[in-house]
A and B are shown apart, each in its own frame.
Chain A
Amino acid sequence: MTGDDLTRLTVKDALSLLRLGSVSAADLVTAHVQRIERLDPHVKAFLRFTPELWERQAAEADRLIRQGESRPLLGIPIAVKDVLCVTGVETTAGSQILKGFKPPYTATAVQRLFEAGALMLGVTNCDEFAMGSSTENSSYFPTRNPWDLTRVPGGSSGGSAAAVAAGEAMLALGTDTGGSIRQPAALCGVVGMKPTYGRVSRYGLIAFASSLDQIGPFARCVDDAAITLSLMSGLDPLDATSADRAPMEVLNNFNAGVRGMRLGVPREYYDVKGIEPGVKTAIDAALATFRMQGAEIIDVSLPHTDYGLAAYYIIAPAECSSNLARFDGVKYGLSEVDAPNITDQYLETRRKGFGGEVRRRVMLGTYALSTGYYDAYYLKAQKVRTLIKRDFDAAFKNCDAIVSATSPTVAFPLGAKTKEPLSMYLCDVLTLGGNLAGLPGISVPCGTSGDLPVGLQVLAPQWGENVALRVARAYEEASGVTAQVAGVV
C-alpha cells in the first residue's frame, strides 16, 4: 500500500490496518504529512501544523496499539478548525485580532477525540470568526476547492472540508452556525454533520453566535461521522447549554435502512430561489433512490422559510456583537497600546484586527440590540425563530426526516460572491433553518453537477441524530455514491 493509499482510507479501514499491525500510527501521519506537503500549497486547507502534537500522539498511539489496547480513534489523524482551542496551539478564529493567541485549555470536543486516540495534524482555515460561506473571509488566505482550485470550498469550515476531501486528514472538526459544516461538506463532496444544539459541548469553541453554534465532524463516510460525533457528545460541566444525553444514542439503529420511513421534502426547499438545475437533478435522483429502498417521499411545508434568513442575520450578528466585545486589545491578541486613550485603543485595535465582514456584523448586531430598535429587530427575529421551530415541529408530525439539497449551488468561483454580501448570505438558505430550530442535520455526497459535488441534506427532529444518520447511511449504501478523495491537479 502506498502512502497515498493510506490517505484515502476511511476510519474503519484504517483502524483495522492499525490493529493488524500492517501500518503504524506514525506511518499514517507520515502519509498524510507527505500528501499535505504536496497538495496543501495548492489547496491551502491548513493555517498551521502541530508536529509536536502529532509526534507525541502517534508515539503514544503506537505504544498503546502494541500493548493491545483499543480505542475508537486510536492512531487516526484529524484536522481542527481554527475556532477550536487546543492548549498551547495558536488559535485565531481566522482573525488577525487573535494572532499569537495560544489558549491554556483544550475544547471539550477536541479533548474527547484526543482521549479516543486521535492525532492532531494541524489547524484548518476558516472564514474570520466563522462568518462566511466560502472561506474567503479568512484574514490569512482563501482555501481552494480540491475538486477545482479556481472554486471555493464553501465555508465557514472550508479548510476542514477541503482537508478531508483532499486526503490531507482522515477526519476534521468544524463548526456550524448557519450551515458552516454542511455547506462546505456539500461543496467538497464529503460527509459533514451538525448535531442538535446542546449535543456537543461548546466549551473551547470561540463563539460566533452562541445560541446557534455547534461543533461537528467532517468524514469520508457516514459511519465515520457517526462514531466521531458520538465520541464528542454528552454533558459537559463546563457548558451549561450542553445536554445530559447518552452519547451512544446518536448510533441507535442508525444502520436500519429507510424501508417504511417517511421522508419529507419541503416545497420551500425543493424549489428554493436560485437552485441550480444540476443540483435539482441530483436531488431528484436521490429521492428516487429512497423510494426504491422503500421509503415514502411526501410533501411537507416550512412556510416561514423566507423569513429565516432575515431572522438569522439579526440574531447571529446580535450575539456576535456581544461575543466579540472581549477582543478589546486589553488582555490578549492584537493590542494598539500606543493609542492616546482607552477608547482609541479599542477603536484602533478592532479596526485593525477585524476584517470587513466581521465589522459589518458587529455593527448590524449592535444596531439590532440598541434601544428603540430592539423590539423591531431582535425581538421580532426571536418570534420568527419560534415560528420556524413550529414549522419543523409541524412537518415532523408527518415525516421522520426532511431531505433537500444542502446548498442551492455547487462550488462557485473565488470572488464570485465577495462583492455582494447578500448573495453570499443566500448560500445558507437551506441550512440555517436547522440552526434556528436547533436541529441535527447532515450533508452527504449525492453525485455531481458539472463534475462538482452536490450535497444531500437530511434534517431530523431534536435529538434525532440517529434518524438523520440512518437516512444518510441508507442513501450512501444504496446509491453507491461515496466521498472520494480529490486528485487535485
Chain B
Amino acid sequence: MSSRWEVVIGMEVHVQPRTRSKMFCGCAIGELGDAPNTHVCEVCLGLPGVLPVPNKAAVEACLKTALALGCEIPRHTKFDRKNYMYPDLPKGYQISQYDLPMSINGRLDVGGRQVRIRRVHLEEDTGKLVHAGDKLHKAWESYVDLNRAGVPLMEIVSEPDLRSADDARDYAMELRTLLRTIGASEADMEKGQMRAEPNISIRRQGSEELGVKTELKNINSFRALHRAILFEVERQREVLEAGGKVEQETRGWSEAEQRTFPQRSKEQAEDYRYFPEPDIPPLELDRDWIEMIRGALPEMPSVRRERLIRTHGLPASDVAVIGADRELADLLEGAVATGAPAKQVANWIVGEVAPTGKLPSAQNLAELVTLVGDGTITRDQGREVLLESVETGRTPAEIAAEHGFRQMSDETELRVLAQAVIDANPKAVADYRSGKTQVIGVLIRDLRARARQANPKLANEVLLKLLG
C-alpha cells in the first residue's frame, strides 16, 4: 500500500440484542438451523390488519448499548418505515429509525483511541430467501424463511474515524467485548448476531476531502472483515492510480474467492420513502428509567483493562486476553481478592482457562494457583486438577488429595528416579556424554513419563548432575 493514500473507514454494525422475543411480536428468537417458518405469527408474517408492538427488552438493550457508548439519548425518538418490496420483507417495509434515532453522539475507546459513534438505533431484521438451483438467476424456485423476520437489531454507526483494516477489526472486536460485558448481546458473528458493514474510501494523504466510498456486505467473521478491507483498499488504489474513478456502490465479500464484487450501484439504489411509522406512537423514554440503566452499567472494558494493568501490574498482553471477556476479568479479580498472586492467576487464565472457555470458581482457581505455586503439586497435575474442578465444582485440594497428587521434591527419591532413566536409555546417555546435548529432551520426557509428580526443576537438576 502506497504511503501516499490514506484509508478512511466508517462502520455500520448490526447487532442482535439479547431478547427472548422478536422486535414487534411475541415470537421466540429461533436458533440457526431451526426448521424454516417455525418462529412466525401473524405479525411477523405481515398478515393484513395486524400491528407491531415494540419489545421493551430490545429498547432496554439498545439504551444500555447507547449509554455504554456514551451516547446522548434525545427526548424524542420514533420509528419509521423504510419502504421497499422484496419477498423476504413481509410487510413491504422495514420498521427502522430514520431522523430521530434512539441515541446519538457516542464514542468507543479502541486501544486508547476514541472512535466517534454517530448513532445507535433499533430496527427489525428481514427474512431469508433460499434458492433451489446453484445461482440466483438460474434458480427454478425460491423459498422464503421468515424465522428471522422481525428479530430485533441494533444498528451502531461510527463516524469515518478508522484508518486501516486493523483499526476496523479492533473496533469491531472492542464493540463485541463491550456488548458482552454489558450483557446487551452475545454478538457472535458466526451466528449472525453481529454483522459488520465497513464503508471504505481512500484519499491522498493530507487531503481533507473524503473519497468516494463503497460499502461491503456479507462479512461474517473478524478475519473476513480484515481481509475484505485489505482487498477493497487495494482495489480502490489500483482503480485510482490507473486514472479511474471509484463507483459509489455496495459490494459483497466472497469468502470463497477472497474478493469483493459489485452488488448494487448508487444508480440502482432505492428510494426508501421513509416516513414516521403511524402504528407506533413516538417514544417518550422515561428519564428515570434511563438513569437506572446507566447506573446499573458495569465498568467499561477499556477502563477495566487500564485498572488491571495499574492495580495488578499485569502485562498488556495478558490484559488483552483477560480484558476482552468480562467473565475472565471477574475471575481474575475474584481469585486475586482471595489472596492469590495476580501474575500467576493471569498465567493460568491466559494459558488454561481462556482457551477452553470453561471457568472454575474464583475460589477454586486461587486455591489451585496456591497449590502449584507453593510446590504442593506440579503444573501438570494442576492442569488435571483444574479440569476436574471445573467439571465437578469440587476444590483443588480435595481432588489433589484424592488422586494422591503431591510433588516429589525429595532429592534421594529424585536421584533414584534419574538413575532409572539413565539405565533405561544407554544410547541417549552415550550421545549426551559425547556432546549431543540436545538429546536431553528424550531423557527428560522419559523422566516425566515415569513420575509426573516429580518437581520438574529439581528433577532436571538431579538428572543433569548424574549425567555429569
Spell out A's residues near B (CB within 8 Å): 83-85, 91, 93, 98, 101, 103-105, 107, 202-207, 209-211, 237-241, 318-319, 321-322, 324-328, 330-332, 342, 346, 366, 369-371, 374, 378
CA distance A211 to B282 in the complex (A): 12
Query: Which of chain A's residues have a CB closer than 8 A to the CB of B45?
Result: 331
Known: A91-B49, A238-B50. 7 other contacts (CB 8 A): A104-B42, A240-B281, A322-B273, A322-B275, A325-B93, A330-B144, A332-B47
Query: Which of chain A's residues have a CB closer than 8 A to the CB of B53?
Result: 237-240
Of all chain B residues, the one with the shortest Cβ separation from A203 is B51
CA distance A1 to B412 in the complex (A): 120
Of all chain A residues, the one with the shortest Cβ separation from B142 is A342
* B133 nearest CB across to chain A (Å): 14
Query: Which of chain B's residues have a CB closer than 8 A to the CB of A93?
Result: 48
Q: Which of B271-293 contact A (CB under 8 A)?
A: 271, 273-275, 278-281
What are 21 sample pairs from A and B whose C-beta atoms fall under 8 A apart? A83-B49, A91-B49, A103-B47, A204-B49, A209-B278, A210-B279, A240-B51, A240-B52, A240-B279, A241-B278, A322-B93, A324-B92, A328-B92, A330-B87, A330-B144, A331-B46, A331-B47, A342-B142, A366-B273, A369-B274, A374-B275
CA distance A479 to B47 in the complex (A): 46
CA distance A342 to B52 in the complex (A): 26
Query: Which of chain A's residues have a CB closer than 8 A to the CB of B87?
Result: 328, 330, 342
Query: Which of chain A's residues have a CB closer than 8 A to the CB of B281?
Result: 240-241
Query: Which of chain B's residues have a CB closer than 8 A to the CB of A321?
Result: 83, 273
Of all chain B residues, the one with the shortest Cβ separation from A366 is B273
Main secondary structure of the interface of B (DSSP, over half): loop
Query: Which of chain A's residues have a CB closer than 8 A to the CB of B50?
Result: 105, 203-204, 238
> Which of A207, A325, A331 sits near B83, CB closer than 8 Å?
A325
Of all chain B residues, the one with the shortest Cβ separation from A210 is B278
CA distance A204 to B47 in the complex (A): 9
B36 in the interface, Cβ–Cβ < 8 Å? Answer: no
Query: Which of chain B's residues have a CB closer than 8 A to the CB of A374?
Result: 273, 275
Query: Which of chain A's residues have a CB closer than 8 A to the CB of B47?
Result: 103-105, 331-332
Of all chain B residues, the one with the shortest Cβ separation from A243 is B281
* A233 nearest CB across to chain B (Å): 17
* B136 nearest CB across to chain A (Å): 11
B85 in the interface, Cβ–Cβ < 8 Å? Answer: yes
Of all chain B residues, the one with the shortest Cβ separation from A101 is B48
Whether B275 lies near A346 (C-beta < 8 A) is no
Of all chain B residues, the one with the shortest Cβ separation from A95 is B48
Whether B83 lies near A322 (C-beta < 8 A) is yes
Whether B278 lies near A211 (C-beta < 8 A) is yes
Whether B91 lies near A326 (C-beta < 8 A) is yes
Query: Which of chain A's residues have a CB closer than 8 A to the CB of B271?
Result: 370-371
Query: Which of chain A's residues have a CB closer than 8 A to the CB of B195?
Result: none
Whether A203 lies near B278 (C-beta < 8 A) is no
Query: Which of chain B's residues have a CB closer than 8 A to the CB of A204?
Result: 49-50
* B64 nearest CB across to chain A (Å): 22
Q: A240-B279, A369-B275 are in contact. Are A322 and B48 (CB under 8 A)?
A: no
Query: Which of A91, A202, A327, A328 neighbours the largest number of chain B CB atoms within 10 Å of its CB?
Result: A328
Q: A98-B48, A331-B90 are in contact. Are A240 and B83 (CB under 8 A)?
A: no
Of all chain B residues, the one with the shortest Cβ separation from A104 is B42
Query: Which of chain A's residues have a CB closer than 8 A to the CB of B275?
Result: 318-319, 322, 369, 374, 378
B121 in the interface, Cβ–Cβ < 8 Å? Answer: no
CA distance A91 to B49 in the complex (A): 10
B211 in the interface, Cβ–Cβ < 8 Å? Answer: no
Query: Which of chain A's residues have a CB closer than 8 A to the CB of B46?
Result: 326, 331
B81 in the interface, Cβ–Cβ < 8 Å? Answer: yes
CA distance A226 to B42 in the complex (A): 31
B30 in the interface, Cβ–Cβ < 8 Å? Answer: no
Whether B280 lies near A240 (C-beta < 8 A) is yes
B456 in the interface, Cβ–Cβ < 8 Å? Answer: no
Whether B54 lies near A326 (C-beta < 8 A) is no
Query: Which of chain A's residues have a CB closer than 8 A to the CB of B144?
Result: 330-331
Of all chain B residues, the one with the shortest Cβ separation from A382 is B276
Query: Which of chain B's residues have a CB closer than 8 A to the CB of A209?
Result: 278
Of all chain B residues, the one with the shortest Cβ separation from A97 is B48
CA distance A326 to B45 in the complex (A): 10
Of all chain B residues, the one with the shortest Cβ separation from A205 is B49
CA distance A471 to B83 in the complex (A): 43
Whether A202 lies near B92 (C-beta < 8 A) is no
Q: A210-B278, A211-B278, A319-B278 are in contact. Are A107 and B49 (CB under 8 A)?
A: yes
* B226 nearest CB across to chain A (Å): 35
Of all chain B residues, the one with the shortest Cβ separation from A330 is B87
Whether A240 lies near B49 (C-beta < 8 A) is no
Nearest 8 A-B pairs (CB), nearest first? A325-B92, A369-B273, A210-B278, A211-B278, A206-B48, A206-B49, A204-B49, A326-B46
CA distance A326 to B144 in the complex (A): 14
Whether B90 lies near A241 (C-beta < 8 A) is no
Whether B279 lies near A241 (C-beta < 8 A) is yes
Query: Which of chain A's residues have a CB closer than 8 A to the CB of B51?
Result: 202-203, 238-241
Query: Which of chain B's residues have a CB closer than 8 A to the CB of A238?
Result: 50-51, 53
